[in-house]
Amino acid sequence: MKGRLLIFTLIASCLFVGRGEAASFKELLEARTATCWVEGQVLGDMVIGARARLSFVLVDAALAKSLSGNPEVPDWLVWHGQHYGAKGKTLLVIRFKALKPWNFEPTSLYVGDHQVTKEDIRTRVHFLPQGDLPSGTEATLAVLVPTKALPSGGPIPLGYGEFGVEWTAPR
């Protein structure tokens, strides 16, 4: 009887530990994600007329640490999270979806006062759709931008072309 109780206790504690990590990861991810709508007008919880949705995910030390061995982490974030740790650079993983036909040029992205260049992009060119994209196209790219380009302590402008959002990074 004691053996069964011990086994049940071990299994139950493993289940609760797994749930704690998943909730912690979700909180980390939500706090480090900013969404920008291209040609969209935000009205409360709705967005009208958007051509594309871009989600900028800041990969900092806390998020990078949570990527390893956590089954809740999406594959695209694990894959692109491998670029974390470059000296003097900040990693952002940008996930986008074309909601209408859209001409995507990655060098139209900006982070802080830094315009993204082809050298900043760590995603292989073969895996990055560019140019005229049909609606429904989804992709993810990793971008390493100079840390000094980001304002310290204040809101960070993120966006694509003339469309952007102000976002404050967690401390």
Would you list the domain boundaries of the chain? 2-167
User: Average pLDDT over the chain, rounded to whole?
Assistant: 86
pTM above 0.85, yes or no: no
pLDDT at 169 over 50: yes
Write the CB contacts of 35 (distance below 8 Å, at least 6 apart in sequence): 53, 54, 55, 56, 165
pLDDT at 154 over 60: yes
Residue type, 35: T
Query: Contacts for 62-68 with beta carbons within 8 Å, 24 or more apart?
Result: 62/28, 63/28, 63/29, 63/32, 66/21, 66/24, 66/25, 66/28
Write the CB contacts of 154 (distance below 8 Å, at least 6 apart in sequence): 168
Closest C-alpha to 59, from 90, 36, 30, 37: 90
Encode pLDDT of 35-72 as tens digits: 999 999 989 889 999 999 999 999 999 999 999 888 99
